[in-house]
Amino acid sequence: MPATFKAAVLSEFKTPIVLREFPLPQSTEPGGALVRIQMAGVCGTDVHLWKGQLPIPRPNILGHETVGIIEQCGVALEQDWRGVPLQKGDRVTWSSSLACGHCFYCKEKRQPTRCLNRKAYGISYNCDEPPHCNGGYAEFIYLRPGSAIFKLDDQLTTERVIGAGCALVTAIHGIERMGLNWGDVVVIQGAGPVGLAALAVALNHGASRVILIGGPEERLKTARRFGAAECLNIEHFPSAERRIQRVRELTRGHGADAVIECVGSPEVVPEALEMCRDGAKFLVLGHYGDAGEVSINPHVITRKQLQLHGSWGSEHRHMAQALEFLASQGGRFPFEELVTHRFPLDRVMEAIETTQKWQSTKSVVVP
């Protein structure tokens, strides 16, 4: 094992991410694992984190969608989260989050995504503190005891897992919370990874038609290939009024059965309420960063009898479901095609910039 490892480090918000070297842990606790990183995806949340929209410790190694090879297995780590045998040399992914299992939300309310002691790789750890390697934009990561590790089948490619990324588990959890009825007409706001994943999950849940609103054209092409019935390019539909009108035209004047927000901009929320039919459901899924306030008219919610839902992160079981889905729905939803831009470790800043400027569908870091 090398004595040190390189990582891309965020020292301060809105300043360049630079390469640093840290001591590599030379031993592994029981239940822990040291993993050599193969690929880490750049998520929209990384852009929000870089900007300082969530209060994370610094310096920090970002990167929370990751695949790697086990270099060292701690004693007692013999199986993955599902019970599949695990050993050195296995290719794995893992849930970025760790829940404590004994707090009010973990135990009493069965809502571990809101665990009072929740931690997440690539988000919650100061990399100046041992074991240093806590994020995906690095050569190694140390998975602590209690991490939910998943061995990957050979036919499930790294590109496919990273292409789906945290967007897929986010969409699975969100749609589970909101619930969809078979035959629902669904509007999805946003054509980024979360929007495309929500499209795949909604169709798999029995949505009859999905109308997706977003851009640029390249992403809408992917949306059509995934099975979107209609894509509204925001360049051609630049005003909320026109978009609302088009959704009503496509739903016999009533509006959609469900609207899923995957944009992260507050101004799309009042628009979504207008796209809902009476009694519809609305899921706010894209606001991981605090992007500020927007004014809405609560009368619309009461009069239309709307159901509003929120969803934060995902549980380990959603990762198990996501991997099953990726393995069985291979041809239908080619998530690997979302990976459009690759960057080495010393160019993580560029990877985040291409994501921020919507130049890539999915940027990845290959250490």
| Total residues belonging to the chain | 367
Rounded-to-integer distance, Cα 275 and Cα 256, Å: 6
CB of 40 to Zn ion, least distance (A): 11
CB of 172 to Zn ion, least distance (A): 13
Residue entry with tokens 């990957």: 152
219 versus 277: smaller Cβ distance to Zn ion = 219
8 Å CB contact between 7 and 137: yes
CB of 116 to Zn ion, least distance (A): 5
266 versus 289: smaller Cβ distance to Zn ion = 289
Residue entry with tokens 């706001």: 189
Closest CA to 120 of 194, 60, 70, 164: 60
66 versus 222: smaller Cβ distance to Zn ion = 66
Residues 6 or more apart whose CB falls under 8 angstroms from that of 84 comprise 150, 151
The helix or strand, by DSSP H or E, that contains position 51, with its residue range, turns out to be: helix 44-51
Closest CA to 45 of 335, 310, 355, 267: 355
73 versus 99: smaller Cβ distance to Zn ion = 99
Rounded-to-integer distance, Cα 112 and Cα 101, Å: 7
8 Å CB contact between 38 and 67: yes
| Chain residues in the site for Zn ion (CB under 5 A) | 43, 45, 99-100, 103, 106, 115, 166
CB of 287 to Zn ion, least distance (A): 13
Residues 6 or more apart whose CB falls under 8 angstroms from that of 242 comprise none
Rounded-to-integer distance, Cα 37 and Cα 121, Å: 13
43 versus 149: smaller Cβ distance to Zn ion = 43
Reported as half-sphere exposure (CB side, CA atoms, 13 A), residue 292 has a value of 6
Structural tokens at position 367: 């250490």
100 versus 296: smaller Cβ distance to Zn ion = 100
CB of 335 to Zn ion, least distance (A): 14
CB of 8 to Zn ion, least distance (A): 16
DSSP string, 344-359: -GGGHHHHHHHHHTT-
CB of 239 to Zn ion, least distance (A): 30
DSSP 8-state assignment for residue 37: E
22 versus 335: smaller Cβ distance to Zn ion = 335
CB of 141 to Zn ion, least distance (A): 15
19 versus 103: smaller Cβ distance to Zn ion = 103
